[in-house]
Copies of this chain bind each other. A is one copy, B any other.
Amino acid sequence: MDIKGLDDRALERVAEFFRAFAVPMRLKILNALRDGPRNVGDLTAEFGCSQANVSKHLAVLAQNGLIAKEAQGTSAYYRIVDPRIYQLCDLVCGHIGQHVADQAAVLDVFRGASRPKRSRRA
């Protein structure tokens, strides 16, 4: 499954998937679901935002196959479908960490720090 030869329609789908991760509140929700299913009221209380907001974000995540809903009485419990998504998040976090470190090194250069040495990067 390779992104290389995808047509416009498929690329739009991939972009939509990334968009599901592109909102801090949704990342919070995914984090909260790490330790097991939660219902809408719980999450609303935890984040201190409106119930409508949480419900909508959950719908977006579900629509992208990231979480699944299970009704229990009047409650709706959501759970992570595939824990591998956390690997994806961690990959990104790692990359950002690296990027931030690089920027810090560049800043050091501008500030005249004599430590950089290994910034052989065009």
Contact = CB atoms under 8 A, between A and B. Distances in A.
Q: Most chain-B CB neighbours within 10 Å: which of A26, A85, A86, A93? A: A93
Interface in A35-82: 64-65, 68, 70, 82
Nearest to A97: B1
Interface residues of A, number: 49
Contacts of A12: 24
- The majority secondary structure among interface residues of chain A is helix
Nearest to A85: B95
A118 interface: no
A17 B92 contact: yes
B89 A14 contact: yes
B8 A18 contact: no
B17 A23 contact: no
A61 to B, nearest CB: 12
Nearest to A82: B95
A91 interface: yes
Q: Give me the 4 closest cross-chain CB pairs, A-B, nearest first.
A: A65-B99, A18-B21, A3-B89, A1-B94
